Structure 1
Amino acid sequence: MDARRASALVAGLDRRPSWRRLAAGSGLSLLMLAAGCMTSPKEYIQNGLKVGPNYRKPAAPIAEHWIDYADARVISQPQNNWAWWQTFNDPILSELIQTASQQNLTLRQAGFRVMEARALDAYARGNLFPQSQTGFGGYSRNLLSEQVGFVGGGGGGAGVPREFSVWTLGTQFQWELDFWGRFRRSIEAADAQLDATIEDYDDVLVILIADVASAYVDVRTLEQRLRYARQNVQNQSGSLRLAEDKKEAGVSSQLDVAQAVTNVAQTESTIPQFEADLRVAENRLCTLMGMPPQDIRALLAGNGGIRPIPTAAPEVVLGIPADLIRRRPDVRRQERLVAQQSALIGVAESDLYPAFSITGQIFVRASQFDNLFLSNATGGNVGPSFQWNIFNYGRIRNLVAAEEARFMQQVSLYQQTVLDANREAEDAIIRFLQSQEQVRILETGAAAAAESRDLVNELYQGGQADFGRVFVAELFLVQQQDALAVAQGTVARSLVEINRALGGGWQIRLQGPATLVELPPVEEVQAGPEVAEEAAGPEAPEAAETAPAEGDDEEGNIPGLAPDPAFEPTPEITLPEEFDGQKDLPEVK
């Protein structure tokens, strides 16, 4: 199966040539037949006077239900709360996410890409009107040779002056008519590219929110591990003092002291590593919020007190796997890129047919500047023309085949993106469920280890047990408590990953700006007034709204360019402050 046939099947189209349909179009049929007839006259009319295929959303493989749908903790119903981080009931986490969504620099880059795509979309729409409209003018001083032309000895022209001036002022235009839909297909491609950049913005926002939540969980997990380590060092230091006292009393040996020192040193050695990892996690949070790395312990402490590892209900609302296609921005972005590539097939095919244009110019010309604006100084011309690349040696058809092959690549990538989304969600679900089981087991083990440590300490203090049992009990308690903290953090991170895989959270951009974390003075981190002014965030120039061009309807649709009924509109994007005043998009459904 060739690429053209395959692309037609994927897009839900049948582009097989029909000689009956070709004959039905009379002169138009002959013209399209001479051009190679990749689009029949009937298709051309049905497509709104455009060559190339009309786009239809390709099918994508998706599971009917989650693998663990029978688990009572997996709730297969639509999500009502897109702000999933609120299930942790942690106001500091909510504040960090709100701040990052307004200040993150990677997200701002995605926003500026949306602005770029909007400008290019408006540029593509401008090609529907005269593509070249230029003014010209000039002055020249001329001297004719006596040996040629009217003045020469060839005869005639005795009254023609050898020296004269020429003043010229005028305008000219060229308007290539969109007879084959090349410019309208280009608009379709630009619209799809704009949609894709908006989905890219949402995808960056989803990843950002999940990264902030993961970094926050890492901070709280490391804080818990530090608390366990310091508490165990304190307890082990008490056992060390007891062993030293008993050695001095002559009721124990140096071995007890050596084992106690080993335990204390082993546990204490983990504290510097935990502190370093904690600083790294805090620095990561700073970067995600668009801040230079700094001490944010006061911000993380909130109103004071010890903050535990975030926890949520053991159940999770997932919806059904098919919702991933609708909710995940990266899936929607890839589908829009498929639509863009479909339109580019028509753009390439239009080069097979003659291009019809209207060209003209009007000017005034005189030898004296004072006579330049007299009525008889006016000149000009206007008329139709066409240009047809008839001897292209198959190059244009091969370019069309290349665009169709790129279309098939985008379709395959879209289907792979859907598969990856399904896999990522399933991976996060099983980690969430099994990490809960791990926490339950470790909580039992840690409680038993703490009880064992207390009991064996009493026995050792009363002389009923040797220090070897204390050594093992304290060592095992450290391991169990640290593993418990890690597992609790894994539960929280798994819930974060579930919501990242489900594509939730991008709706936060539809909210108004909130109170942000104040950035430190730029001068403290980078000298120079120009750099400081730039880093402080100068206001971006306002972009003018794109009004419907002449001949458009109130919604900005071009006459003859009917929207595809299978097309699902991209949600409206509301960008932070400097992105205001841009083209409005359909509301979120």
Structure 2
Amino acid sequence: MNTKRLCALIASLPTLFCLTTSCGKVGPDWKSPGVTSYHEWTEDNARVTSGEEDLSHWWTQFDDPTLTYLIETARLSNATLTAKAWRIEEARAALGIAVGEFFPQQQRAFGSHYDIQLSKNGPNTQLADLKFKDALLGFQSSWELDFWGKFRRGIESAEADYSASIEDYRDFLVILTADVASAYFRLKTIEERLLILDDNIRIQARGLEIASARFEAGYVTDLDVQQAKALLKETEARKPLLLLEKVNAENSLAVLTGKSPETMRNLSCNFNPLPPPPLQMAAGVPADLLCRRPDIRRATLIARSSLARIGIAESELYPSLSISGSIGLESAFSTQSTKADRKFFSSDSLFFSYGPSFSWPILNYGRLENQVIRQKAIYYSLLSELENSVLSAYAEAENALAAFVYFHDQVTVLEEMAKAARRATSLANTQYVEGMADYTRVLTASEKALEAEERLAESKGNIFQSVVSTYKSLGGGW
């Protein structure tokens, strides 16, 4: 009879499982939040197009092997990115734990084997066996049924957290790729400015020689020599600051790529000059930002996880129903027992117990209700942060696209300015040598030429920085 009851219990377990999974879940279900969405960019310019572009490897358009090497190295060696990968493993394990909570929460096997010697002088031992063995082997389990969806909501929350950890990894990939490219283009811009500075130092050194020769010949006073010398030293004084900026950029690349500063300095010796900047930017459709940017996707998933925790908090308001039971074999026999009496693996040794139970925290003094209110407040605050993230993403993209357009316009003007300044310097030097002008004109023209060339190099570098910022704001790099 006992065996039949046990078989009936085991046969009812699938029914209980189906009943549990088919029950409703307390708490709100997820619905995609209505966040702000735009359909076109405000920057109406021919340089900005709405064409589609593969943003996963946007840096390859520059056809720069060094840049590609640095980005790939950073993706393999960056310590922070490695930590983000381990966060994914942590979230995956947390999801596995949440899934396991849905099934019987407590299971344990137990067993023992004792040799027992009772005291002859103990109570109630006159007719008992004083020396015997006791063997026990069994299994015990307890299962809190998920009638209110607490564990299923826990799985929903853990799944969202796991997906959010993946988006967090992707978001750092976007940031890391952009930071490496930005530091690389900053370094190349500095090197171009150093070349301009060295060219001007050579020209001004030649001007000092000319002024000194004319002074020795008696054509000019010592004023021209001192002016030429002051101009040369002022230009030379700029070089240490540029070299310091170069060292800082190299060190930034070293940190981002996980390499030593010495490696970056050796690598910078092989850097190619800046290529021509891109003339157009394919920005796609603004609404694609909501699907493309990992930080927005992560914020959405974090809000979804928080919503599931509202259901978990609400389920604590209701009674929890559990089924517990144990089954096993137990046998005790004296040392004088025959082999036939020592039947451990037999139906006579079988024992089991099972039954339902419930618990309901009736007097919780508002703790459970306020926990629900707290989780709702967290959820709505996350929705507000999500809306702010979307608006910030649009602003970042618009700013980057505007910078791309206006720096191009600035370069066009500065190229003409630099061309005119170089021509003015050449004419001023010719007139000075021929005695038609004093050195003040040479001084002014040289300063203007150096300023124009440096501003032109900086503006070209700013175009590359705006390209990097645009792809970063569009979520490119994963």
TM-score (norm 1): 0.72
Structure 1 residue 292: Cα displacement: 2.2
Question: Of 309, 313, 328, which residue of structure 1 is paired with 2:293?
Answer: 328
Q: Is residue 143–residue 322 contact of structure 2 (8 Å, CA) maintained in 1?
A: yes
Structure 1's 258 and 170: CA in aligned 2 closer, same or farther, altered over 3 A? same
Structure 1's 114 and 269: CA in aligned 2 closer, same or farther, altered over 3 A? same
Q: Which amino acid aligns with 1:106?
A: T
Question: Of 444, 450, 464, which residue of structure 1 is paired with 2:416?
Answer: 444
Structure 1's 462 and 225: CA in aligned 2 closer, same or farther, altered over 3 A? same
Residue-by-residue CA offset, 1:449-500 (whole Å, 9 max, x unaligned) = 1111110000001111111111111112111111111111111101110110
Supply the distance in 2 between the matched residues of 1:270 and 1:313 (Cα, whole angstroms): 30
Q: Which residue of 1 aligns with 2:81?
A: 107
Q: Which residue of 1 aligns with 2:465?
A: 493
2:222 pairs with 1:254: yes
Supply the distance in 2 between the matched residues of 1:468 and 1:384 (Cα, whole angstroms): 102
Question: Of 172, 183, 186, which residue of structure 2 is paired with 1:218?
Answer: 186
Question: Of 11, 27, 30, which residue of structure 2 is paired with 1:55?
Answer: 30
Supply the distance in 2 between the matched residues of 1:170 and 1:315 (Cα, whole angstroms): 74
Q: Is residue 321–residue 422 contact of structure 1 (8 Å, CA) maintained in 2?
A: yes
Structure 1 residue 331: Cα displacement: 0.3
2:80 pairs with 1:118: no
Supply the distance in 2 between the matched residues of 1:406 and 1:146 (Cα, whole angstroms): 68
Supply the distance in 2 between the matched residues of 1:239 and 1:450 (Cα, whole angstroms): 15
Q: Is residue 313–residue 372 contact of structure 2 (8 Å, CA) maintained in 1?
A: yes
Question: Of 459, 468, 471, which residue of structure 1 is paired with 2:431?
Answer: 459
Q: Which residue of 2 aligns with 1:474?
A: 446
Question: Of 307, 321, 324, which residue of structure 2 is paired with 1:342?
Answer: 307
3-state secondary structure, aligned to 1:413: helix
1:140-151 to 2 correspondences below 5 Å = 151=124
Q: Which residue of 1 aligns with 2:146?
A: 178
3-state secondary structure, aligned to 1:322: helix
Question: Of 274, 287, 305, which residue of structure 2 is paired with 1:309?
Answer: 274
Structure 1's 431 and 372: CA in aligned 2 closer, same or farther, altered over 3 A? farther
Q: Which moved more, 1:307-316 or 1:331-340?
A: 307-316
Supply the distance in 2 between the matched residues of 1:315 and 1:243 (Cα, whole angstroms): 47
3-state secondary structure, aligned to 1:269: helix
Structure 1's 374 and 93: CA in aligned 2 closer, same or farther, altered over 3 A? closer
Structure 1's 118 and 247: CA in aligned 2 closer, same or farther, altered over 3 A? same
Structure 1 residue 90: Cα displacement: 2.2
Q: Is residue 220–residue 310 contact of structure 1 (8 Å, CA) maintained in 2?
A: no
Structure 1 residue 265: Cα displacement: 0.8
2:200 pairs with 1:232: yes
Supply the distance in 2 between the matched residues of 1:47 and 1:407 (Cα, whole angstroms): 26
3-state secondary structure, aligned to 2:262: coil
Question: Of 320, 331, 355, which residue of structure 1 is paired with 2:320?
Answer: 355
Supply the distance in 2 between the matched residues of 1:208 and 1:114 (Cα, whole angstroms): 18
3-state secondary structure, aligned to 2:316: helix
Structure 1's 380 and 342: CA in aligned 2 closer, same or farther, altered over 3 A? same
Structure 1 residue 256: Cα displacement: 0.9
Unpaired runs of at least 5, structure 1: 1-44, 152-156, 507-589
Q: Is residue 428–residue 441 contact of structure 2 (8 Å, CA) maintained in 1?
A: yes
Q: Is residue 311–residue 492 contact of structure 1 (8 Å, CA) maintained in 2?
A: no
Q: Which amino acid aligns with 1:316?
A: M
3-state secondary structure, aligned to 1:352: coil
Structure 1's 193 and 369: CA in aligned 2 closer, same or farther, altered over 3 A? farther
Aligned length: 452
Supply the distance in 1 between the matched residues of 2:443 and 2:426 (Cα, whole angstroms): 12
Structure 1 residue 301: Cα displacement: 5.3
Q: Is residue 49–residue 180 contact of structure 1 (8 Å, CA) maintained in 2?
A: yes
3-state secondary structure, aligned to 1:365: strand
Q: Which residue of 2 aligns with 1:400?
A: 372
Supply the distance in 2 between the matched residues of 1:496 and 1:46 (Cα, whole angstroms): 49
Q: Is residue 45–residue 405 contact of structure 2 (8 Å, CA) maintained in 1?
A: no
1:41-190 to 2 correspondences below 5 Å = 49-68=24-43, 70-80=44-54, 82-138=56-112, 151=124, 158-160=126-128, 166-190=134-158
Q: Which amino acid aligns with 1:71?
A: N
Structure 1's 46 and 57: CA in aligned 2 closer, same or farther, altered over 3 A? farther
Q: Which residue of 2 aligns with 1:389?
A: 361
Structure having the higher helix fraction is 2
3-state secondary structure, aligned to 2:38: coil
Question: Of 400, 405, 409, which residue of structure 2 is paired with 1:433?
Answer: 405
Structure 1 residue 57: Cα displacement: 1.0
Q: Which amino acid aligns with 1:270?
A: R
Unpaired runs of at least 5, structure 2: 1-19, 336-341
Supply the distance in 2 between the matched residues of 1:439 and 1:236 (Cα, whole angstroms): 25
Supply the distance in 2 between the matched residues of 1:46 and 1:60 (Cα, whole angstroms): 33
Q: Is residue 21–residue 146 contact of structure 2 (8 Å, CA) maintained in 1?
A: no
Residue-by-residue CA offset, 1:496-534 (whole Å, 9 max, x unaligned) = 10110010121xxxxxxxxxxxxxxxxxxxxxxxxxxxx
2:176 pairs with 1:205: no
Q: Which amino acid aligns with 1:219?
A: L
Q: Is residue 131–residue 334 contact of structure 2 (8 Å, CA) maintained in 1?
A: no
Q: Which moved more, 1:388-397 or 1:362-371?
A: 362-371
Supply the distance in 1 between the matched residues of 2:22 and 2:448 (Cα, whole angstroms): 73
Residue-by-residue CA offset, 1:203-252 (whole Å, 9 max, x unaligned) = 01011110111011011100100000001000000000111111111111
Q: Is residue 124–residue 183 contact of structure 1 (8 Å, CA) maintained in 2?
A: yes
Q: Which amino acid aligns with 2:437?
A: A
Q: Which amino acid aligns with 2:468?
A: V
Q: Which moved more, 1:98-107 or 1:262-271?
A: 98-107
Structure 1 residue 321: Cα displacement: 1.6
Q: Which amino acid aligns with 2:206?
A: G
Q: Is residue 277–residue 460 contact of structure 2 (8 Å, CA) maintained in 1?
A: no
Structure 1's 474 and 189: CA in aligned 2 closer, same or farther, altered over 3 A? same
Structure having the higher Rg: 2
Q: Answer 1 or 2: higher relative contact order, Cα 8 Å, separation at least 6.
A: 2
